[in-house]
Structure 1
Amino acid sequence: MQPNYDRYKSLKFDRPHPRVIRITLTSQMKLGVMDPDMHRELSEVWRDVDADEAVSAIIITGQGKTFSAGGDLKHELKVAVDYDLRMQAMKETRDLVYNMLHCSKPIVSAIRGWAVGAGLAAGLLADVSIAAEDANFMDGHTKIGVAAGDCAMIIWPLLVSMAKAKYYLLCCERLTGKEAERIGLVSLTVPDEEVAEKAEQVAVSLANGAPAAIRWTKYSLNSWIKNAGPIFDASVAYEFMGFAGREGLEGMSAFLEKRPPEFPAQTVI
């Protein structure tokens, strides 16, 4: 089966090897910020590449010197006040995570520059994550007044321990690629100029390997992640509930206006 890749407008496809497909996030926005179309396409593409009989391994990467700095907050403000948009965005968030986990082909991420939000999710949920030593990672949800959603609850504690997950997710601290590798958030790091080549090497090796053995191993390992599915589902619901609340509206507005947010001192949950 050959999927119709022409329908994708924000994703570009090429084949560095006959059995490897590379998906490149192509954004017109600064730091590879995702517009609504890219967010939707990134949630859908994994089913197509999984069904592509000519593909044995996948690379996901960003355009130029950046991966993706997450969603467009101007659009997220619309999501905050429009129920239908909010439900659509929430569905896409869940689909992105579960479709990557259910994709039988091994996925390699090649991360340069910033990886935040949905971009961070795609980078970390890859089966092998390769980052530049000076890449920048951050989960900034609580900084804009919403609960950490995306992939955070389903993958961070498993990768880096509960103590590290709480520190980075509660405090929204940035960490470099080198630090991400040290704590186990990514598989390995290389100098920035070597990221693409290393990702290709790993993907080609996987594509040339025993397909059933590799896919069954991936399937079994991902059961550890899928066990956290109910926790992830709850976190996404909390995240999108927060978008419509006063903390989310204030946090996003403050970020766009480049001022400190004024969150309430107390709340009831």
Structure 2
Amino acid sequence: MKSITTHIENKVATLTLNRPDKFNSFNREMAFLLQDALDACEKNSEVRAIIIIGNGKAFCAGQDIGEITDPDIDFGFQQILDDHYNPIVQRIRTIKKPVIAGVNGVAAGAGANIALACDVVIASEAASFIQAFSKIGLIPDSGGTFFLPRLIGFQKASALMMLGDKVTASEAEKMGMVYKVASVETFEEVVHTTALTLANMPTKALGLTKQLLNQSMSNDFNAQLELESKLQIESAQSEDYQEGVSAFVAKRKPEFKGN
């Protein structure tokens, strides 16, 4: 059984973390397979939105502790971060297509932070988030110290990372950690409907918006205005812009193609 499965339908690729017996915790194979799947989605012009979701009761419990404590394993934390998690979150942020995290259950450690790196996070009522690192004497990784303070504020992020409190889905929504919470019954429908909506939008502009958001993390105000001007000109030269304007004038529904 592959630890990452890919299903493509209606321009949406669903990447499923598929180690349910291990709460979808990452081992080396799974980390590389997710990177490969994201690369394939980026190259596939038929894919215009991506979902990352977990199989079973968990979204992702982070690192498989059994792997790093195995005496026969000859790699350590440096390789795990450099080879596994950093490339995953870097791909999520740089891929020019919207990436939706469908958090179906517990998202712990690196699993939580991979979800938070996505463009849109939709959580099931059954989901929870925990910065579990401090519980075993580690520090947050996988971009958590970058994204979480920006999502919920410095003080709240600091407390959650140090205390390792579990955050319910409703609490996460209230503090701005996730976009939306859905009932267990409607969760998958909400995730796929959101992804399908994004896939049918002008995805070239969405990719440029994503680029702007990435740069806003480090740009000053004037640099951000300059980049907005540059990318607005680029978006105005797209086929999707022409289609959007034509549809608006004709009072019809636009048919965007991501070009």
Contact kept in structure 2, 1:80 and 1:86, CA below 8 Å: no
Partner residue of 1:50 out of 16, 39, 42:
42
Counterpart of 1:12? 5
From 138, 149, 152, give the equivalent of 1:146: 138
Is 1:125 matched up with 2:117? Answer: yes
- CA gap 1:55/1:85 in 2 versus in 1, 3 angstroms: same
Structure 1's 124 and 139: CA in aligned 2 closer, same or farther, altered over 3 A? same
Alignment counterpart, residue 198 of structure 2, candidates 194, 206, 231: 206
Q: Which of 221, 232, 236 is matched with 2:213 structurally?
A: 221
TM-score (norm 2): 0.78
SS at match of 1:203: helix
**2:77 aligns with one of 82, 86, 91:** 86
- Matched residues in 2 for 1:155 and 1:28: separation? 26
Match of 1:39 among 28, 31, 39: 31
Unaligned runs of 5+ in 2: 220-259
For residues 92-117 of structure 1, give each alpha carbon's deviation from its aligned partner in whole angstroms, at most 9, with x where no partner exists: 22111111111111011111111112
What amino acid is the match of 1:42? L
152, 155, 167: which one aligns with 2:147: 155
Larger C-alpha radius of gyration, 1 or 2?
A: 2
Is 1:193 the counterpart of 2:193? The answer is: no
Letter in 2 for 1:220: L
Deviation at residue 59 of structure 1 after TM alignment = 0.7
- Deviation of residue 47 (structure 1)? 2.1
**Shift of residue 142 of structure 1?**
1.2
In structure 2, do the counterparts of structure 1 residues 79 and 187 end up closer, same or farther at CA, with 3 Å as the change threshold? Answer: farther
Give the Cα separation in 1 of the matches to 2:116 and 2:171: 14
- Could you give the per-residue CA deviations for residues 31-66 of structure 1, whole angstroms, max 9, x where no partner exists? 222232112322443222111111000111000332
- 2:16 aligned counterpart, secondary structure: strand
Unaligned segments of structure 1, at least 5 residues: 1-7, 228-269
Partner secondary structure for residue 58 of structure 2? coil
* 1:164-213 superposed Cα distances (whole Å, 9 cap, x missing partner): 10010011000111100000111110112211111111111111111211
What residue identity is the alignment partner of 2:145?
A: M
Provide the rounded CA distance (Å) in 2 between the counterparts of 1:165 and 1:79: 34
- Give me the whole-angstrom Cα distance separating, in 2, the residues matched to 1:79 and 1:182: 43
1:155 and 1:225 in contact (8 A); partners too: no
1:212-238 Cα deviation digits (max 9, x unpaired): 1111111111223467xxxxxxxxxxx
Count of residue correspondences? 218
Alignment identity in percent?
Answer: 29
Match of 2:107 in 1: 115
Aligned-partner SS, 1:64: coil
Alpha-carbon distance change, 131 to 80 in structure 1, aligned in 2, over 3 angstroms: farther
